[in-house]
Homo-oligomer: A and B are copies of this chain.
C-alpha cells in the first residue's frame, strides 16, 4: 500500500476501511471477469471510489464489429461473470515479487510495466494480489478475505479515460461500478443516483434554458441566457447589498495583471499549471488572474493606512481564470472561467478573531437564504498545515499554531458542526472550508475562509498602529457565496429547477385563453412588472392546457390564466407550479400574495 493511501485509509473509521477493501475487491472481480470474457484486452488500472470502483481497460486489440468495444449493453453478461466469480468465494492473497519476476508476469502490458518502473523508482516493494488461482494483479491491497463477501454491487456506466489522466492520444475504456455493504444501501445509492440524474444541472440547464455552450467560443466557457443571467444578477445584487450592509467595500480590479504580481505573491509556482498562458503586450507580460488577493493588496497599498482605517474589507465580484483539463469540465460546476464573490480583510492580528466570526455569520446567513441548513446541507472543515512539510507550507510554527487555534476556537464556540483535515491548508495559512453536500450525496468544498500571515510580509503591507509604529496586518481571504457558476449549478440541483420565488427567473407566466384576452393579459403584465414582478405573457396560439403544461415544466412559480370570466371580473385565475388552484384574485391581491411570500423568503 502506498504511503499516501495508507495515511488516507488510516483516517477512516474501521467500518469505512472495510467498505473500502470490499470495493477494492469488487474492482478486482470486475477486471478478472472482463479478462475472462475478453482475453485480448490489456488491463490498465483502477481504484475503489466513494461509491464503488472503476477500472480502465485497453481494448485496442479486441475484434468487434463496427468498432464498438464494450458498452452498457454488455453489463448483464459482465455482471453474470462477476457473480460466477463471487460465488466461487475465492480467497484474496498477497505475495511480494522482485521487479524482474513482475516484469515477466506482466510482459506485453505496457501499463503494468510502467507501473512496475514507478514502484521501483519509489523504492517500494512489489506486491501482487491473487484471486484464488484464476487471476493475479499488481496491487498493494487491502482486500476482503474472499470474493464471497461481496453481496451488493452493480455496474453503472462506461466512459473514455486517458492513461494517468494525461492527454495521450489513445483512449482507454473505463467501467464504473457501485458496491455497498448491503442490498439496502446499494438500493438507496441507486435511488439517489436516479434523483441526481433527474436534477443534473446540465440537463435542467438545457430544459429550463439557463445556459448554453458554443463550439466557436470554447470549452468550459458557458453563456448565460437571459434566464440564467437573471438568476446570476439576483444573486449578485443580493450578496453585494448584504456585504455593503456588513461593512465591506466593493471594488473593481482588472482580471489580468503582470505575471510579476503573482511572482511577488508566491502564487506563480503553485498555480502556474492551472493558469492561462502569459500574453506579451509591449514590454509587459500579462496573465489572466487565477485569484484576486494580490489585486486587493495593491489597492490597500495605494495609500498609507492607520489603525483607525482597519479593518479594511475589500470585496469584489471577481472574474477569474483557471485552466481545467477538458475531461474535468462539467457544465457550470467545473469551468475555465468563474466569477467569485470574493473578499480580503486586512485587520490587525488582534482583530482577526472577530473578523472570522463576522465571516461565518455572513456565510450562515447567506446559506440560510439559499435554503441550506447547517449540519444537514453543509458543515465546516478545519484544514490544517503540516509543520514538517516546509516545502508546501510557509515555515513559522508559532504563527501556524496561533492561527489554527483561532479558527478552531471560533468553530467550537459557535457549536458549528466541523471536522479537522490535516495537510489541507493553503500555503500561507490554515483555513475553514465550507463543505456542501450535493444531490448525489457527495460532500464538496464550496469555498473557503483563510487565515493568512504570509502575504502581508511578501507585499510589505503595513499600517501605523496606535503607538505610531509600522505594523503588519493579517489577511482573511474569504468567499461568501462561492463562484456564481458553481453556486448556480448547485442551486439548480438543490431545487431541481423549482427555484424559490425570489430566485425564479420568471415569477409569473400569464396565459390568455384566447387571442381576445391578450390585451387584458398585457395590462396585468404591465402592472405586475411595474411592481418588479418578473412576468411573461404567453401569446402563442396553443391550447390553454398546453401552455399550462409548458410553464409547469418550466417550473414557473405562478401561472395566471385570463379568460372571459377573469376579464369581466378584473381578476386572474392563479395556479402554482405544483398544480394547486388558487382561484381568481384581483391583481392587487395577487401582488400582496407574491410580496408576502418574498418577505417570508427574506426573513
Contacts and interface: CB of A to CB of B under 8 A. Distances in A.
A282 B167 contact: yes
A221 B257 CA distance: 8
Interface stretch (A227-235, A385-393, A412-420): A227-235
A256 B319 contact: no
Given A223-B295, A308-B540, A258 B217 contact: yes
Interface string A242-278: 0001000111111111101100100000000000110
A354 B473 CA distance: 58
Nearest to A298: B214
Nearest to A484: B252
A334 B282 CA distance: 16
Interface residues of A, number: 60
Copies in the complex: 2
A41 B308 CA distance: 56
Contact of A240 (B233, B245, B260): B233
B539 A308 contact: yes
A284 to B, nearest CB: 5
Interface of A: 167, 209, 212, 214, 216-219, 221-226, 228-230, 232-233, 237, 240, 245, 249-258, 260-261, 264, 276-277, 279-282, 284, 286, 288, 294-295, 298-299, 302-303, 308, 314, 319, 323, 326, 336-337, 529, 539-540
Closest 4 A/B residue pairs (Cβ):
A226-B249, A221-B254, A224-B252, A214-B298
A237 B234 CA distance: 12
A323 B226 contact: no
B277 A280 contact: yes
Contacts of A237: 237
Nearest to A284: B218
A256 B295 contact: no
B336 A281 contact: yes
A230 to B, nearest CB: 8
Contact of A256 (B221, B251, B277, B540): B221
Nearest to A233: B250
A252 B223 contact: yes
A411 B252 CA distance: 37
A302 B212 contact: yes
Given A255-B319, A337-B256, A217 B261 contact: yes
A224 B212 contact: no
Nearest to A299: B223
Nearest to A325: B282
Interface of A is mostly: mixed
A281 B323 contact: yes
9 contacts: A212-B299, A216-B257, A221-B257, A225-B299, A226-B251, A228-B252, A229-B251, A256-B288, A279-B288
A277 B279 contact: yes
B308 A218 contact: no
A422 to B, nearest CB: 34
Contacts of A319: 255, 319
Contacts of A302: 212, 214, 223, 225
Given A167-B282, A281-B276, A308-B540, A258 B224 contact: no
Contact of A264 (B216, B256, B279): B216
Contacts of A261: 216-217
Contact of A224 (B233, B251, B288): B251
Contacts of A232: 252
A320 to B, nearest CB: 12
Contact of A223 (B218, B250, B253): B253
Contact of A218 (B226, B254, B303, B336): B254
A135 to B, nearest CB: 37
A216 B302 CA distance: 12
Contacts of A303: 209
